[in-house]
Amino acid sequence: MSTTPIPEHVSVWGELADVDHTLRHVDVPLGDGVVRTRVLQAGSGPELVLLHGTGGHLEAYARDVAGLARDFHVTLYDMVGHGWSDLPDRPYTIDVLSDHLAGLLDALGIDAAHLSGESLGGWVVAWFAAHHPDRVRRLVLNTPGNIANKPDVMRRMRETTMAAVQDPSEETVRRRVEFLFHHKEMVTDELVNLRRQVYSRPGFVQAITNTLVLQDPEIRKDFAWDPAWVGRVTAPTLLLWTEHDPTGGLDEADMLLGWLPDARLHVIADAGHWPQWEKVDEYLETHRAWLLHGKVPA
């Protein structure tokens, strides 16, 4: 009999194997067209919508679905131009990504929800909350990244992401995914190959070009984090930071604490840009405490 222990994380399917869920595509109006949007839903309770980061897809939250579904009706989706959603040829600026979120909520019949966004997703949900305050209950901004609009961070994001999409080899895509992790040994072959499959989709080079316009300072300036619009976020907000986020330090969290009318900070130790993958238990407990009870774990 083998004594080899079963790994804590086996696969994305392993995380979802005992969770009742639906995975489907939903037609979401956006501008003059419709975006076929991939959506996963599970659980029951208060509405909670999760948004991934640049070049990502809903599997970024695979390790959290089972835990969150015990307390929430959870919705994960691939943003326009990402994952297995449609890739219309237009710049995916923050207002466009926010409009896509609004359209998705309408299509799903969700009037208001808790929102939790990681990296680019955090930027989108903050913008959405500033412009649609009646549709947001509580916010979690999970490692939202580069609040200070640092040119070197923008350059690194452009270069590493574009390199992986233009050459979706195992080596280049693994390097891009490892950027997200403090514990790089946690990057699985499955996760790398999911990204490779996304990045190899027809039209994805143009799609990622349309996403990376946000790393162009001239375009970014119209949407950059700024107290003028951040101060309009009325939803109680939790800033979920980590000790090893490569895109922004605690000094940037302090900036947001000064700009947001109602915000708290929680720092997850020993994690990088993806605490939802590296520190699952703390990520889940933080969401439960904040979204259900308005508390921040000690």
Among the residue ranges 21-25, 30-34, 107-111, 245-249, the one predicted with the least confidence is: 245-249
How far, rounded to the nearest angstrom, does the alpha carbon of residue 276 sit from its chain's CA centroid? 10
d(CA 34, CA 23): 19
Edge-to-edge order in the sheet of strand 21-30: 21-30, 33-42, 73-77, 47-51, 113-118, 136-142, 237-242, 263-268
CB-CB contact of 143 with 122 (8 Å): yes
Alpha helices in 38-92 (DSSP H): 65-69
* Domain 12-293 listed as CATH 3.40.50.1820: yes
Q: How many CA atoms lie within 13 A of 3 on its CB side?
A: 0
**Does residue 2 register a pLDDT over 80?**
no
Going through 44-106 in order, the beta strands assigned E by DSSP cover: 47-51, 73-77
Mean pLDDT of the chain: 96
d(CA 76, CA 117): 10
Q: Residue 297 — very low, low, confident or very high, per pLDDT cuts 50/70/90?
A: confident
**Does residue 268 register a pLDDT over 90?**
yes
Per-residue pLDDT, averaged over 196-204, amounts to: 97
